[in-house]
Amino acid sequence: MPASLPALAAHLAQPFHYWPCTSLTATFAHSSFVPAYSVSPQADARHRIHRLADAVAILAERLHRLQQALPYWRHLDAGVYFDFRPIQTQAIVHIERLGAALDVTLYADLLSPAFRLAEHYWATSYCPAYYAADQSRNDAFTQHFRQQAQPTMQAHLQTARHEIAAAGELLFQRGDISFLTAAAAPDEQQRHAAHLLRPENKLFLFSRHLPTLTLSRSFDLLEAGKSTR
């Protein structure tokens, strides 16, 4: 289940590696975000971009402050700390402990309405159409895929790409230190780049440098423990 724009592109480039197609965003479609993270899909594009940038800035600031907060948590409750509902926490927050290091990754693309729409369309419409189509025939299923599912998927991807890129650019222009120090786009892009660079994957003319608002920080638990002494 793709949680970032580069991940979604990888799922499209290598469909047989990701069957069955399951929508991550569908799991919390009926679980609204708290106002700090809420971006209305009905708002105009400019308003959505500014609200998305504001939401990611808040998330990045909370991630930045986690080093100071860790000593006060015997067991970190990521949902409570970041103010996500349990089902949202499962999708957005990934925590891995390696020795004395705590790695926290936040898949902030999931705050983008355009990305959620693209991801949901991929799982519920594009993917079934892809597997129903037969490229060796020109039957109704293949025509539907070529004439409707594929162009619609491309349109959703382009909209998501614009929304995410514009929000990220706005955060860069603001000089948001918390965002700049946690921005993990290069790592997330590299993680999925191999699926996009193969010459046979020409369905979507996307570069390897897909924008993403993914955030990541590594925290020293030993250092956090010292701060309470």
Task: Taking residues 192-203, report their average pLDDT.
Answer: 61
Burial 169-196 (b: 16+ CB within 10 A, else e): ebbeeeebebbeebbbbeebbeebbebb
Cα–Cα distance for residue pair 36/214, rounded to 1 Å: 17
Mean pLDDT of 105-130: 95
Residue ranges making up the domain that contains 62: 5-226
- What would the two tokens of residue 166 be? 């514009």
pLDDT confidence bin for 25, thresholds 50/70/90: confident
- If you average pLDDT over residues 76-87, what whole number do you get? 94
Question: What was the pLDDT predicted at 138?
Answer: 80
pLDDT of residue 229: 45
Report the domain count for the chain: 1
Instruction: Write down the pLDDT at residue 203.
Output: 46
Please give the Cα distance from 21 to 3 (Å, whole number): 13
Max mean pLDDT among 14-18, 157-161, 198-202, 219-223 falls in 157-161
Q: Give the span between the Cα atoms of 223 and 202, in whole angstroms.
A: 48
Can you give the pLDDT at residue 225?
A: 54
Q: Are 179 and 126 in contact (CB under 8 A)?
A: no
pLDDT at 191 over 70: yes
What is this structure's pTM? 0.90
Q: Per mean pLDDT, which range of 110-119, 167-176, 214-223 is the poorest?
A: 214-223
Residue 221 confidence class, pLDDT cut points 50, 70, 90: confident
Which residues are within 8 A (CB) of 221 and not within 5 positions of it... i.e. 6 or more apart? 70, 97, 100, 101, 102
